[in-house]
């Protein structure tokens, strides 16, 4: 019998965030804030079907500061813990830098975060067919904002940040723009979260 789990979902960036978008001539612009929010919506619906409660950290369309997002997560973690729930945070992003494939990030030394990240990475090949799962990102090609890391290090629950393919690589961009691609990305997260829940 697994213990109840409450899932917190962060959609990075906002409609006022500079950059963080595709720019293929003649093709519609993919904005990361919109993608992140759509994936979080799809994950929420799938978790609802699986009877796993979840909450969105940033319901706003605009960018909310990292310190405020950390505050929100930690408030929710405290409340859920009091109610007997285990908690986990997933922050959804799309990558840029002209690479290709999927990455999952955690802070150092948090084993529960590592477990969820591993489960997402394990699920990735099934849902992201034809895309690389970039497991070793310590070789300098992952240029993360330090802000995103504080969401992983200063939150009081296991936390994973996913970089779902690259907005500025055409093959990845096309998958990210497609409904089927978005559903697959959401399903990948939920499959991993449900597997994680079984370990509690």
| Nearest approach, Cβ of residue 65 and Zn ion (Å) | 15
Residue 129 burial by CB count (10 A; 0-12/13-18/19+): exposed, middle or buried? exposed
Segments in the chain forming alpha helices (H): 32-49, 66-82, 111-127, 146-153, 170-177, 179-198
CB 83 within 8 A of CB 21: no
Where residue 124 falls (left for φ over 0; alpha for ψ -120 to 50; beta otherwise) is alpha
| Nearest approach, Cβ of residue 128 and Zn ion (Å) | 17
| Nearest approach, Cβ of residue 26 and Zn ion (Å) | 24
Cα–Cα distances (Å) from 30 to 21, 173, 176, in that order, read: 5, 8, 8
| Nearest approach, Cβ of residue 13 and Zn ion (Å) | 6
| Nearest approach, Cβ of residue 18 and Zn ion (Å) | 12
- Direct distance between the N- and C-terminal alpha carbons of the chain, in angstroms, rounded to an integer: 9
Which parts of this chain interact with Zn ion (CB under 5 A)? 12, 93
Cβ proximity to Zn ion: between 12 and 99 the closer is 12
Cβ proximity to Zn ion: between 72 and 93 the closer is 93
Residue 82 burial by CB count (10 A; 0-12/13-18/19+): exposed, middle or buried? exposed
The residue number whose beta carbon is nearest to Zn ion equals 93
Cβ proximity to Zn ion: between 16 and 198 the closer is 16
Cβ proximity to Zn ion: between 21 and 93 the closer is 93
Alpha carbon of residue 158 to chain centroid: 13
CB 121 within 8 A of CB 133: yes
| Nearest approach, Cβ of residue 52 and Zn ion (Å) | 24
Cβ proximity to Zn ion: between 29 and 199 the closer is 29
CA distance 129 to 91: 22
Cβ proximity to Zn ion: between 12 and 158 the closer is 12
């Amino acid at each position: 019998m697994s213990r109840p789990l409450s899932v917190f979902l962060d959609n990075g960036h906002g409609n006022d965030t500079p950059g963080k978008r595709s720019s293929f001539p003649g093709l519609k612009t993919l904005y990361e804030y919109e993608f992140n929010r759509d994936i979080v919506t799809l994950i929420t619906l799938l978790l609802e079907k699986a009877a796993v409660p979840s909450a969105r950290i940033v319901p706003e369309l605009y960018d909310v500061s990292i310190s405020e997002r950390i505050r929100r997560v930690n408030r929710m973690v405290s409340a859920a813990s009091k109610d007997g729930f285990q908690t986990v945070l997933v922050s959804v992003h799309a990558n840029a830098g002209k690479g290709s494939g999927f990455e999952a990030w955690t802070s150092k030394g948090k084993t529960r975060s590592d477990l969820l990240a591993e489960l997402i990475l394990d699920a990735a090949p099934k849902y992201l067919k034809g895309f690389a799962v970039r497991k070793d990102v310590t070789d300098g090609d992952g240029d993360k904002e330090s802000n995103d890391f504080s969401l992983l290090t200063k939150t009081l629950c296991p936390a994973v940040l996913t970089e779902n393919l690259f907005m500025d690589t055409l093959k990845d961009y096309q998958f990210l723009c497609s409904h089927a691609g978005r559903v697959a990305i959401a399903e990948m997260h939920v499959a991993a979260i449900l597997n994680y829940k079984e370990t509690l």
